[in-house]
Amino acid sequence: MSCLDELNISHCKISHDNLSRLFALLQTGFQTGIKYLGLAGLNINRDNLISLQRYMESNRGEFIKKLDLSSNYLTFENSLFFFKIFQNNNSLTMLKFSNNSMSRNQNFEKENDQENVIMTILEDVFKNNDMILHLFFEFCNLTKKDVFLFLDVLSYSKTILSVHIAGNSMPLLVEITNILNNDVTNQPSSLG
């Protein structure tokens, strides 16, 4: 058995079936788990997310520290499915999720009256996970309200070092500063 530490297959041409087979192989095929898994730009579907879930919940999946799922253009429903997996993970230190939809509202300039379920899950993650350090949520169709909710949710994190939310509908800088000053104390954070 091999000790594979990193696997980056981002932007490779791989079928959905072969990607699911790869996750099954990763569950059993290596002596230790992979610490970095690059899956950006693979057009991941729900079946792949189910296979990824099985892998992440296995004893091999608990080794993953850094996961890149950016540019898969996941729908809100598939993003929600992933965040329910993420909610139960206590090993990730970095999540790249840019260019996937995190809002029900695809027209991210129009405000959504309904609270974003993903933000509620993130609140739970931040309350229970003391490992997450870096989040990349650029171009995730977040509305101004979603960004406010997210900034409020950040107040529960004890470990977050950097947050990247460029390309979303942003509140005024004054509003962000007020939230950060009031809610996120003693935390080194960077908004990018």
| Mean pLDDT of the 78-107 span | 87
Domain 6-183 matching CATH 3.80.10.10: the answer reads yes
Chain segment 15-36, per-residue pLDDT in tens = 999 999 999 888 876 656 789 9
Chain segment 28-74, per-residue pLDDT in tens = 766 567 899 999 999 999 999 999 998 888 877 678 899 999 999 99
Strand partners, 164: 136
**Residue 172 amino acid letter:** L
Chain segment 137-188, per-residue pLDDT in tens = 999 988 888 888 888 888 888 899 999 999 988 766 556 666 666 654 444 4
